[in-house]
Chains A and B, each alone.
Chain A
Amino acid sequence: MDLALIPKGVQRCSLKTFLPWTLLWLAFIAWGVVSAFFCLYKGLNQTNMNHYFAFGLWIVFDLSIIALGAGAFFTGFLTHVMGGIFIYPYRENLKPVVNAAVVIGFICYSSAIAMLGIDIGQPLRGWFIFWHANVHSMLTEVSFCITVYLGVLTIEYLPILLSNRKLSEVPEFNIFGNNLHHIVALFAAAGTFLSFFHQGSLGGLYGVLFGRPFAYREGFFIWPWTFFLFILSAIAAGPSFTLLCVWVTEKVTKKKLVNRDAFLTLGKISGWLLAVYLIFKIMDTVSWIYGVVHRAGLSFMDFYSGPYSLWLIIAEIGIFGVIPAIILITPRLREKNTLLIVGALMNIIGIVLNRFVFTIQTLSIPVLPFESFMSYFPTWQEWGIAVGAIGYGILLFSLSYRYLSIFPLEPELSPVKIFGVSVKDFGVVKGG
Chain B
Amino acid sequence: MVPFVFEWEWDAGHLIFMGLLYMVLGAISLGMIYAFIKTWLDLKDKT
Contact = CB atoms under 8 A, between A and B. Distances in A.
A190 B29 CA distance: 11
Residues of A in contact with B, size category: 20 to 34
A141 to B, nearest CB: 7
Main secondary structure of the interface of B (DSSP, over half): helix
Contact of B35 (A171, A183, A193): A183
Interface of A: 130-133, 135-136, 140-141, 144, 148, 151-152, 155, 171-172, 175-176, 179-180, 183, 186-187, 189-190, 193-194
A119 B22 CA distance: 27
B39 A176 contact: yes
Contact of A179 (B18, B42, B46): B42
Main secondary structure of the interface of A (DSSP, over half): helix
Contacts of A176: 35-36, 39
25 contacts: A131-B5, A132-B7, A133-B1, A133-B17, A140-B17, A148-B24, A148-B28, A152-B28, A155-B32, A172-B39, A172-B43, A176-B35, A176-B36, A179-B34, A179-B38, A179-B39, A183-B34, A186-B27, A186-B28, A186-B31, A187-B28, A189-B27, A190-B24, A190-B28, A194-B24
Residues of B in contact with A, size category: 20 to 34
Interface of B: 1, 5, 7, 13-14, 17-18, 21, 24-25, 27-28, 31-32, 34-36, 38-39, 42-43, 46
B37 to A, nearest CB: 9
B25 A179 contact: no
Contacts of B13: 135-136
Contacts of B31: 155, 183, 186-187, 190
B25 to A, nearest CB: 7
